[in-house]
Structure 1
Amino acid sequence: MNKHKNHLNFSEDYWEYLYAMPDQIFSDALDKLYLGIIVWDACGTVLFANPAVRKCYQTEPAWLKAYYENKPAQAEKPPFSPEIREPFVLKPSEDMTSAVQVRIVRPVFSDEEKTQLKFVIELFQENLPYLDVDGSKENLRTDKDGEMQRIVGRSLAFLRPLIELKKIADSNMPILLLGESGVGKTLIAQYVHDCSPRKDQRFFAVNCGAIPGNLLEAELFGYAPGAFTDASKAGRQGIFEIADRGTVFLDEIGDMPLPLQVKILHVIENKSLVPVGGREAIHVDVRIITATNKNLKEMIRKNLFRSDLYWRISTFYQTIPPLRERKEDIIPLAHFYLNQLNEKYGTHKVFDYATLYTLLDYDWPGNVREFRHVVERMYFLSRKSIIYFPDFEMVQKLEEEEEKAPEYDFEFILDAIRKHLVRKSYAENKTSHRVAEDLSISPSKAYRLIRKYCKD
């Protein structure tokens, strides 16, 4: 079994089963594919073109029309030269529709030395819309830097909680988002805000685990003039007051100190607060969304979380599934993040299909946050327009010892990626707090990673 088969992890029996299938089955499958595919011979004659190719052109070229009329279809200028040896990416030609993003041209040879060109495959990759959860429109929002953001997902496990959240977005009901770290709870909280009548008002996201308790209280509730040493003489408004008529998202609510939980409960129940060092209550109208990756009921049993606050914030709760439980979203997410990078840096990179298979095989313990960092890593390490899995520096080292490790150890590679990112960030930012901000992780996690990767 060759390395390609090993990489796809299919059994020998399954490969024999595939090879025994009639060619017509594969031809019929390609005919039904929504992506346009053309197979050329070495001289530029069309051997096969599926119906999806037609929608890629504004006006059908003469050679394409001839093919569909069962006539010899020879292109004057095929998208490759006779000297082609490696796959490459082409921009859309002027006669193609705006839906075509890039074309991937891949040669197939009769020999391992790549001297006898057998045929060439041209694959049309299109810009696909990201539908809102009800399928009605694109789900877009603009962040503070003016970038358009989307919630990308098509799996039922992911869309079901979003549909429920959208239904109650119009209410003022507190929402508790449950799920592992990195699943995108902040983005989903923002989505609820954007679907609500408060969408034109302020949205604040606060990580309760990243700020010490006394500072967190001042951040949320503000403070009166002279409330403590070094306090501003004019005092300061807190996030709840600034976000009046808007939404406040309290991430990692399980890390909030017990005394501060009492004040949060007061805001929810009485819609008022007293700044630190103040005496007069201030009326605030905010929608509070909370999130945690901890078991709050277990924390209540251990007297680490207030039961009365739990019952108030969990009036409506949703669990956001981890990425390993919504594998259908991995390829759309990969294309989405890669398209963002292509737009930012003016490139036209695409994934090799084997790379996408590798992403699907991994469990992603860090969920979408980890996934995004890996896609960025692959983008910057790739030397060509097509991103192959061996483009990782770590994989190149593994290939030097191919006899000892013929298959890719993805866990080792991910650990090496984390090591590179943490070391690079620590070298530039010097402190664990700044590393946490740079990598969008908690300060405690940044501290642990720095001790693990940077103290040798």
Structure 2
Amino acid sequence: MTSQPWNENEAILHSLQDDILVTNLDGTILKVSEATGKVYGVSSESLLGKSVYDLAAKGMFTPIATPMVLKEKKKITFVQTTNTGKKLLVTGIPVLDENGKIYRVVSYSHDVTELLELKKFLQTMEGEMERVKSELDLLRSRQLYDSGIIANSTEMKNVITTSLQVAEVDVNVLLLGESGVGKSLIAKFIHNKGSRKKGPFIEVNCGAIPENLFEAEFFGYEAGAFTGANRKGKLGLAELADGGTLFLDEIGELPLAHQVKVLKCIQEKQFYRVGGTKPISVDFRLISATNKDLLKAIQERTFREDLYFRLNVVPLTIPPIRKRPEDIIPLIHYVLDVFQEKYKREKRLDEAVLHHFLQYDWKGNVRELINLIERLVVISPSTLITTEHLPDYIKASYSIPAPPSNLLKPLKDVLEDVEKQMLQRARRDYKTTVQMAEALGISQPSVVRKMQKYDID
């Protein structure tokens, strides 16, 4: 090419870094840029006058831009493969004459081999990440199960997600919720997932320690601090929590007289033992819990506002189990397994018992459920626990539609009515038949079969 006279158009063409190729309607190559030969592993000059059809037949590249443009009569873009295995993103453009007819075909390309390989790699990685995510979800579920935490419901999953986030830092956490929802369990979960998991977990029930003994129990005391004191003195609960977690349960029950001293200890991480003159420094993370409305207690002047704001850095509300029905059946089975192992007794729950449990209000939450399952495992005389073994207050809370007073239906029909109602309720509350099966305590195929039987969409 360099031996030919200088031509402005040719100079511009060859100055371009992209691969550019011009053919006539027969596919004969009329012009090429210098970059074109490099793309196909030949000299650009050797391509002039050659037919793209012949070159394609020899395996230099496939498919061809020229016939595709002539067929579509518009700009096209496609991926072309070269004889060296490269992947080119080729764009073919029709050039029109003064009559608007196609006169030439111009094509240019970009090497996208690396991009396509990267895309393939990313797709592989996405699949691998999905697999790893599934394994992590399974492992997390297993860890939660081993911890006694059931989190199938969205509400409890949110609690666990937040718990894992706060576990990473020593921020003060205030656990809120009704009595028996499992605040102590979540506190231990946060401790075990944090950097202090190898340190002590000291639980202080602020409502269980007599008011006149609180300071001595919480801060400890020096030898001879008061009549009846241990002659060697005693370490307090706050000092025992050094390097670990101090869990102040039922913080709303803490007497007002002691709140300012606890606040000072929390703020300064320093205190004096009863009868002592030397300050004791401690390093602990603080988790508190209450079932009381602390804001109302502040208004009633039974709880200090400054202590409340010190505790309430990250509030975490644990929902009652009646508001997370997805967790009730799995929780029942978990607790049943625990007590079967503890008491070496094999027990099963009749399906009707599960229906009673799903309707019951569980005002005592998880604690009430645990106590009831333990009682049933211990006192039921048979392997199968039926509604006969349930306490009267559980049976009284269970309602079925009463038949008309002037018409008694066969028992089979009554049971089918109840079954249909339970399925309709589960269908309303859950998105999938798998979730319905878990809530009802039956298999997923059984749910599908029963829904077909009762014509439930």
Contact 2:340/2:377, CA 8 A, preserved across alignment: no
Deviation at 1:345, TM superposition (A): 2.8
Aligned partner letter, 2:153: S
Q: Return the match for 1:409 from 396, 400, 403.
A: 396
Say what the alpha-carbon RMSD is for the aligned residues. 2.5
The one of 295, 313, 321 aligned to 2:319: 321
**Displacement after TM superposition at 1:134 (Å):** 5.0
Deviation at 1:292, TM superposition (A): 0.7
CA, structure 1 residues 319+288, in 2 after alignment: closer, same or farther (shift >3 Å)?
same
Question: Over alpha carbons, which structure has the higher Rg?
Answer: 2
Q: Read off the aligned partner of 1:277 and give its amino acid letter.
A: G
Kept in 2, the 8 Å contact 1:183–1:367? The answer is: yes
How far residue 338 of structure 1 moved from its aligned partner, in angstroms, is 0.7
Aligned partners of 1:132 and 1:139 also within 8 Å: no
- Give the partner amino acid of 1:273: F
Counterpart of 1:408, as a letter, is: K
Q: Secondary structure at the match of 1:250?
A: strand
TM-score where L is the length of structure 2: 0.55
The within-5 A match list for 1:225-374 is: 225-374=223-372
Q: Secondary structure at the match of 1:137?
A: helix
In structure 1, stretches of 5+ residues that fail to align are: 1-130, 143-147, 396-406, 412-456
The alpha-carbon distance between structure 1 residues 356 and 152, as it changes in their structure 2 partners (threshold 3 A), is same
Higher fraction of helix: 2
Structure with more relative contact order (C-alpha pairs < 8 Å, separation 6 or more): 1
Distance 1:321 1:136, change over 3 A: same
Question: Percent identity of the aligned residues?
Answer: 44
CA distance in 2, matches of 1:371, 1:203: 25
Query: Matched residues in 2 for 1:258 and 1:132: separation?
Result: 49
Instruction: Tell me the distance in 1 between the aligned counterparts of 2:227 and 2:314.
Output: 40
Shift of 1:267: 1.8
Note if contact 1:290-1:313 (Cα within 8 Å) is conserved in structure 2: yes
Stretch deviating more after TM superposition (260-269 or 313-322): 260-269
Query: Is the Cα–Cα contact under 8 Å of residues 382 and 392 in structure 1 kept in the other structure?
Result: no
Give 4+ residue runs of structure 1 displaced > 4 Å after superposition: 131-135, 138-142
Residues 133 and 159 of structure 1 are in contact (CA less than 8 Å); yes or no, is this contact kept in structure 2?
no
- Normalising by the residue count of structure 1, what TM-score does the alignment of the two structures yield? 0.55
Q: Aligned-pair distance for 1:364?
A: 0.5
Aligned equivalents of 2:294, 2:192: Cα separation in 1: 27
Offset of residue 141 of structure 1: 8.7
Q: Give the letter for the 1:409 counterpart.
A: A
How far is 1:201 from its partner? 0.8
Shift of 1:305: 0.8
> In the superposition, relative to structure 1, how do residues 350 and 133 fare at CA in structure 2: closer, same or farther (>3 Å)?
farther
User: 1:393, CA displacement in angstroms?
Assistant: 7.1
Q: Which amino acid aligns with 2:362?
A: W
SS where residue 408 of structure 1 aligns?
helix
In structure 1, the partner of 2:170 is 172
Are 1:136 and 2:154 matched, yes or no? no
- Looking at structure 1, the residues matched to 219 and 248 of structure 2 have their Cα atoms a distance apart, in angstroms, of 13
Change (3 A) 1:300 1:332: same
1:100-115 counterparts in 2 under 5 A?
Answer: none
What aligned pairs does 1:64-143 form with structure 2 within 5 A after superposition? 135-138=138-141, 140=143
Give the letter for the 1:384 counterpart: S
Structure 2 partner of 1:441: none
Distance across 2 between alignment mates of 1:237 and 1:279: 15
CA drift at 1:260: 1.5
SS at match of 1:254: helix
Deviation of the 1:132 alpha carbon: 11
